[in-house]
């Protein structure tokens, strides 16, 4: 993994979408993308019933309405976009966000988690960093993802400890869309479904969801540690000291929430249910 300034990453996805080759050659990684504007039609699609309350669907509509090309791929359907790794999808949201700012600083506000006093600050996009996947950081493995009829190549990461060996993959937009309801109703179940989706094999075996749930909580916690250690993409964080209580806190920024706040016509329904910030534990 390599950490670079956001401006250097430009129009290249931090991970890339793998497509199998038909001639027996290694899969092709598609990373360079082209974007069009966020039009009124795109905003309506993002705000539609059945979409606006599911952050994964909101992101899918944003990418479907604005991505014109990814590598040599030009027929970017919703189903294809749902297969993109979550960090890549979020990265495109950041590109739109920074285009909207046009060089200005990013307005950021939330409430102190200790004393609930409102906090306002401006983040400098020039300081934003991106963690980029490099050759040698991953192993290509054929995985049948939710919604797919056959297995296809994806980037995987192998972890070994006293608990055994786990092969993990990154969450996709399909996972995010499918798990949104679980996160709303029962966050613990939503997190477990995320971890199960990431787990390709455990000790070289594919587990059913029931078998996964029967594992000891320490093993499940290890899976979470493994997944969270794959810090790829543009997970921007702002460190803030509360002016009232002096407590220092770190907040993550959600680009889609902020994109809605800066939209020129705020009369439209909100894009998603996530707040503009996601406090880190």
Mind listing the pLDDT tens digit for each residue in 13-59? 999 999 998 877 889 999 999 999 999 999 999 999 999 999 999 99
Q: Which of 216, 94, 230, 99 is nearest to 167 (CA)?
A: 230
Tens digits of residue pLDDT in 194-209: 999 999 999 999 999 9
Give strand pairing partners of 5: 129
In angstroms, the CA 233 to CA 25 distance is 27
- Produce one character per residue of 144-160: b if its CB has 16 or more CB atoms within 10 Å, e if not: ebeeeeeeebbbbbebe
DSSP letter at 176?
Answer: H
Task: Lowest mean pLDDT of 85-94, 145-154, 257-266, name the range.
Answer: 257-266
Whether pLDDT at 277 is above 80:
no
Q: How confident is the model at residue 274 (pLDDT cuts 50, 70, 90)?
A: very low
Please give the average per-residue pLDDT across 54-65, as a whole number.
Answer: 94
> Dihedrals φ, ψ of 27, to 5°?
-60, 150
pLDDT at 272: 36
In angstroms, the CA 195 to CA 197 distance is 5
Distances (CA, A) of 177 to 43, 53, 56, 180, 275: 18, 10, 5, 6, 17
Please give the average per-residue pLDDT across 102-128, as a whole number.
Answer: 81
In angstroms, the CA 179 to CA 55 distance is 10
Between 32 and 144, where is the model more confident? 32
Let me know the angle formed at the C-alpha of 123 by 120 and 127, rounded to the nearest 5 degrees: 160
pTM of the entire structure? 0.83
Whether pLDDT at 263 is above 60:
no
Q: Is the dihedral of CA 76, 82, 85, 91 positive or negative?
A: positive
Please give the average per-residue pLDDT across 166-190, as a whole number.
Answer: 95
Check if the beta carbon of residue 153 is closer than 8 Å to that of residue 18: yes
> Dihedrals φ, ψ of 178, to 5°?
-70, -30
pLDDT at 269: 35
Q: Which of 247, 236, 241, 243 is nearest to 280 (CA)?
A: 236
- In 135-246 the beta strands, taken as DSSP E runs, fall at 139-143, 152-161, 164-169, 199-202, 237-241
Q: Rounded to an integer, what is the distance from CA 135 to the centroid of its chain?
A: 20
């Amino acid at each position: 993994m390599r950490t670079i300034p956001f401006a250097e990453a430009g129009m290249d996805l931090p991970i890339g979408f793998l497509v199998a080759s038909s001639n027996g050659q290694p899969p092709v990684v598609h990373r360079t993308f082209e974007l069009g504007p966020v039009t009124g039609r795109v905003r309506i699609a993002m705000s539609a019933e059945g979409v606006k309350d599911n952050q994964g669907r909101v992101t899918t509509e944003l990418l479907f309405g604005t991505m014109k090309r990814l590598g040599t791929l030009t027929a970017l359907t919703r189903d294809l976009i749902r297969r993109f790794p979550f960090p890549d999808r979020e990265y495109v949201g950041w590109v739109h966000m920074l285009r909207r700012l046009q060089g200005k600083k990013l307005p950021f506000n939330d409430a102190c988690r200790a004393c609930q006093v409102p906090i306002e600050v401006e983040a400098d996009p020039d300081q934003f960093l991106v963690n980029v996947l490099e050759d040698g950081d991953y192993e290509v493995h054929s995985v049948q993802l939710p919604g797919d009829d056959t297995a296809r190549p994806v980037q995987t990461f192998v972890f070994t400890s006293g608990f055994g060996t786990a092969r993990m993959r990154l969450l996709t937009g399909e996972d995010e869309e499918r798990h949104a309801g679980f996160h709303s109703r029962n966050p613990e179940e939503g997190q477990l479904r995320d971890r199960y989706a990431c787990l390709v094999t455990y000790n070289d075996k594919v587990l059913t969801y029931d078998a996964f749930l029967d594992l000891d909580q320490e093993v499940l916690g290890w899976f979470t540690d493994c997944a969270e250690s794959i810090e790829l993409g543009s997970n921007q964080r702002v460190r803030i000291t509360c002016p009232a209580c002096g407590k220092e806190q770190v907040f993550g920024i959600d680009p889609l929430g902020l994109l809605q706040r800066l939209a020129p016509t705020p009369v439209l329904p909100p894009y998603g249910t996530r707040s503009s910030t996601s406090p880190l534990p």
